[in-house]
Amino acid sequence: MGIQIEYLPLTALDCQPPSWQDKVLGAVSFGESADDLKGRHLHGHIPEIYLNAPVLAGSQFASEALLDDALNTEISQPLISDKHGQIRYRLGEHLLFGVISLDESPELTSPGGANTTPALQQVTEIAYQQIFALLDVLGYTHVYRFWNYMADINGNGADTQAGLERYRQFNIGRKNVFLQVGRAQGHQLPAACALGLRSGPLSIAFLAGKTPSVAIENPRQVKAYHYPEQYGPLTPSFSRATLAQLGQQLCLFISGTASIVGHETLHAGDIVGQTNETLVNLEAVVSEANRIQGGPVFDLSNACFRVYVRHAGDLDRIRETLRNHFNRQVKAVFVQADICREALLIEIEATVQQTTIVHSA
């Protein structure tokens, strides 16, 4: 049991040998246009979420593939691919990866009619209800990570109630389902991100398993699910990171992290200040995970970062700030996307792995 994460160029996924693709649970990939998909032959039974977002730099890391490391053993069973509702998923003995994309159909809202709930809130509820129904039926009840992407995340669409920002609509839909299924407690909340793209459906990818995980919080920040009401009627449903023991591997799934201290955005309009503050928060999450583990298990030196950049013109200063912080060029893909607060200019996520050796008695 375990997970192996590999980062590749978008076009390299389908060039891998069948023995490699047979181990792939799924992938999260970025590209700017339909041209990026030309010639793609990734096996249809592998769930992939493809996101229409410009890759500004680090295209060699544009696709994140998650492989079931248990398949390295001779007695392991092949992965199973299937569908549930609008979810495409693939599972092994201990891990499951799934994707779902739902359009915000105009039929979901009827101005002046009985249903005035924003379409984004509705499709969010539909998606998360399907996800948790699937996980409960199959027994993969511990979610380690969610990736959420939607169009115009900071916008106020025509179907909003009292001008409610679309990210807050999403939070209401997500929280409603977490409450319905009894997963709203802090220790149950997985790592997550929520980003805005230029266009496209609500797209969600998720990784789940059969082994309990530990929710990690950042001592420098208010827990997201305890945010004051100024950030929306219902609070975001995620932890700052998830710590999971997957076989002999310890994995730290770090949520999208930004320039927030307490619950307030810092360094408005200052991309260097926000990048540095984000790095301090990433280090704080890693330190908290190490404190819980009782030793220096994790560090960011072996991480591959996904850096979401609001303004493409900030790219050079962000890269220089990262290079100065780590005293080297980092492994990172830089993707143009909108962040969940309009004042935030950058968000960074990562997965950090540490292999532990299990000694027999």
182-202: per-residue pLDDT in tens? Answer: 999 988 899 999 999 999 999
Give the model's pLDDT for residue 77. Answer: 84
Run of H or E residues at 150 = strand 142-151
Active-site annotation holds for 347: yes
Give the three-state DSSP class for 141.
coil
First to last CA, the chain: 20
Tell me which of 48, 125, 347, 349 is the catalytic residue.
Answer: 347
Residues 6 or more apart whose CB falls under 8 angstroms from that of 158 comprise: 111
pLDDT tens sequence across 48-105: 999 999 999 999 999 999 999 876 555 568 999 999 999 999 999 999 999 999 999 8
Beta bridge partners of 95: 209
Burial of residue 253, with CB atoms counted within 10 A of its CB: 0-12 exposed, 13-18 middle, 19 or more buried = buried
Question: In DSSP terms, which residues pair with 249 in a beta bridge?
Answer: 246, 355
Q: Identify any residues that bridge with 28 across adjacent strands, giving them in sequence order.
A: 49, 64
- Helices of type H across the chain: 18-21, 119-138, 166-180, 271-293, 315-326
- SS3 state at 249: strand
Over residues 18-44, the mean pLDDT reads 76
Ordered by where they begin, the domains of the chain are: 3-355 (3.30.1330.40)
Stronger pLDDT, 109 or 170, i.e. the higher one: 170
* Tens digit of each residue's pLDDT (9 = 90 or more) over 332-357: 999 999 999 999 999 999 999 985 54
Q: Order across the sheet with 63-68: list the strands.
A: 3-8, 63-68, 24-31, 48-52
The pTM for the full model equals 0.93
Closest CA to 213 of 248, 250, 183, 175: 250
3-state class of 352 per DSSP? strand
As given in the structure block, the two tokens for residue 293 are 């583990």
